[in-house]
Amino acid sequence: MSTISVSNLRKSYKDVAAVDDVSFDVEHGEVFALLGPNGAGKTTCIEILEGFLPRDGGEVQVLGVDPGQRGQQQWLRTRIGVVLQELAVESFFTVRQVLERNAGFFPSPRPIDDVIALVGLTEKADAKVKKLSGGQQRRLDIGLGIIGRPELLFLDEPTTGLDPGARRTTWELIRTLSGEGTTVLLSSHYMDEVEALAKRVAVLRRGQVVATGPPASLGGRDRGQVSIRFTLPAGVAASDLPFTPTRVDATAVEINTNDEVVVLNEITNWALQRKVTLTGLDVTRKTLEDVYLALTHEEFDNAKGATNG
Amino acid sequence: MAEASTTARRHLLPRDVRLVVHQVRYEQLAFWLNRVGAIFTVVFSVLFLVMLGGSAGQSRIRWLGNIKLIVYYVPGFVAYGIMSACFTTLAINLVVRRETGQLKRLRLSPLPARVLLAAIFVSTTIVSLVQVVLLLVIGRFGYAVRLPGSWTAFALVLLVGIVSFSAMGVAISTVIPNQETAGPVTSIIFFVLLFLAGLWFPLGKHSGLAKFSNYFPVIHLIKAMDAPFEFQPGVSPWAWHDLLIIALWGAGSVLVALRKFKWSPRRS
């Protein structure tokens, strides 16, 4: 049974569809990412799964129960961990005090010192929250998310606003938790984050899933076109090449192909026979960013009108 | 179930009550650790009483049975202390916690909403009572002001006051859009009403200000609090009319709070 199963989920705010017919499944123990620009519906999806928001339509199961049913919410909340976009930690407490307080909400919490060690805050255990850096606060936030030994952890844009070092340590923490068997539903608008952490991803655009799959094969990037680029050798015309280039500008030649092995073989053979060098020869597959931008393209025209969430 | 045998003692109390006790501890810790908040609430009411007591000297209020001004101030500042803890401080606290996502986060924890709200109310009551005790002690031993003649009437005023003004604090928090305006909005409302209620300068009963002020609950809590102190012989310690108006404001606020209370930040 899937840890999360969503089918045909719908949610509107007034007349605007925030989530419009979204379906996906998250398997036990995997890190699943919702990727999309602001306003694509990531947070709305997550809040429905957490049982915080009611839905307008569709079927949702989280850990085998319907989070929209009031009677199930208490049960669910002892089994999930939630980390919000906001660093929502009381600033006057020490790290230990906040964790002790939240530990008291759960039937069998993790030992406080284990959590502190896991999130790498042992040296800061008795420091006030307000004295922590942004990255440390985020790690404490994740510590609060896991204090109840959740089977499922929701991380809503966990590294937004963090510096690169803090992002890396947060990633390490998420990998550790995942390694322990915690299922993670992550939302992000960073491609590198999703690529580094997620086993599978659903790309959202305007409340709809526009692609699903492992980051490496998203949008056919593992199979699709490869682009081969090099500088046109001096004294050679584009028409002399053994292939018709996709694009030729001032100096560079670009060949987009699905058959890169064959094309490269012929191009290099041709260059060796003609005794010319292919300066700057470069073979690139589409990056996740290329795929993402292509998938969510329209969103950029409307970015200004988009709301958070 | 292993838990039951090892922690049998804790299970004498229902789970909700244990959770309220747990959460109250941290509500209290948060209140006292936030020094600015604690100073604005507790230290202010005490300081006001001490300063006004000093400046009042031997002044008396002729139309109020010729009582000393400080005698008038003690119940007034007891009322002030309650309103400041339950209305201003509670409202600001709720807005800040809502806007920073703390309320949402607690909502998504297994802590039931009823437990959280009960704990916030108990904590607010504790802060109120700490002030009441401090003010009574200062009044009694600093200025030889007589303690309430009817403790039962006094306790009833405390109960109605704390419950109703807490409800008003929750209600006003629902209409304040962000944490930046929470302090100014609640303080302005509170101090204007306090001034109109004659906390610092007793108002003539038939002045226009007093009539206007009568529509609001602040003056009624001050009057209701005066009654058990029995300024003049033969006056009832039970100010039923004032208590009723406070309770009506409280009930109206509960309705507003039930309809408008939000767990998540407004801006999102």
- Count how many domains chain A has: 2
pLDDT interval class at A146 (50, 70, 90): very high
For residues A172 and A239, membership in a common domain is answered with no
- Polymer length in residues for chain B: 268
Q: What is the pLDDT of residues A19-39, one digit of tens each?
A: 999 999 999 999 999 998 888
Model pLDDT, residue B267: 67
Q: Are A99 and A90 in contact (CB under 8 A)?
A: no
Q: In the predicted model, is pLDDT for residue B167 greater than 60?
A: yes
Q: In the predicted model, is pLDDT for residue A304 greater than 60?
A: no
Cβ of B22 within 8 Å of Cβ of A104? The answer is: yes
Cβ of A82 within 8 Å of Cβ of B109? The answer is: yes
- Tell me which H or E stretch contains A187: strand A183-188
List all residues 6 or more positions away from B191 whose beta carbon is below 8 Å from its beta carbon. none
- B21 interfacial to chain A (CB closer than 8 Å): no
Q: How many CB pairs under 8 A join A and B?
A: 67
Q: Which residues of A touch B265 (CB under 8 A)?
A: 86
To the nearest whole angstrom, how far is the Cα of A51 from the nearest Cα of chain B? Answer: 8
Model pLDDT, residue A55: 96
Greater pLDDT, A200 or A300: A200
Across the interface, of B26, B112, B263, the residue whose CB is closest to A101 is B26
Token reading at A297? 């393209």
Q: What is the pLDDT of residues B48-103, one digit of tens each?
A: 888 888 887 778 877 777 788 888 889 999 999 999 999 999 999 999 999 999 99
For residues A164 and A21, membership in a common domain is answered with yes
CATH number for the domain including A105? 3.40.50.300
- Cα end-to-end distance, chain B, whole Å: 42
For residues A98 and A122, membership in a common domain is answered with yes
For residues A177 and A258, membership in a common domain is answered with no
Q: What is the pLDDT of residues A157-202, one digit of tens each?
A: 988 888 888 889 889 999 999 999 999 999 998 888 999 999 999 9
Is residue A293 in some structural domain?
Answer: no
Determine the residue of chain A that is closest to B108 in CA distance: A77
Determine the residue of chain A that is closest to B265 in CA distance: A86
Ranges A125-129, B30-34, B49-53, B129-133: which has the least confidence: B49-53
To the nearest whole angstrom, how far is the Cα of A308 from the nearest Cα of chain B? Answer: 6
State the pTM of this model: 0.84
What residue ranges do the domains of chain B occupy? 2-260
Cβ of B33 within 8 Å of Cβ of A93? The answer is: yes
List all residues 6 or more positions away from A258 whose beta carbon is below 8 Å from its beta carbon. A223, A224, A225, A226
Is residue A299 in some structural domain?
Answer: no
To the nearest whole angstrom, how far is the Cα of B114 from the nearest Cα of chain A? Answer: 12
Q: Which residues of B touch A144 (CB under 8 A)?
A: 105
Q: Which domain holds residue A167?
A: 4-220
Model pLDDT, residue A305: 43
Dihedral of CA atoms A129, A130, A132, A137 in degrees, nearest 10, equals 60
For residues A231 and A212, membership in a common domain is answered with no
Q: In the predicted model, is pLDDT for residue A113 greater than 60?
A: yes
Q: What is the pLDDT of residues B168-217, one digit of tens each?
A: 999 999 999 999 999 999 999 998 888 888 777 766 667 787 788 889 99
For residues A251 and A162, membership in a common domain is answered with no
Cβ of B104 within 8 Å of Cβ of A148? The answer is: no
Q: Which long-range contacts (CB under 8 A, 24 or more apart) does B235-244 make?
A: B237/B148, B237/B149, B237/B150, B237/B153, B237/B154, B238/B150, B238/B153, B238/B156, B239/B157, B243/B156, B243/B157, B243/B160
The Cβ of residue B138 has, within 10 Å, a number of other Cβ atoms equal to 18
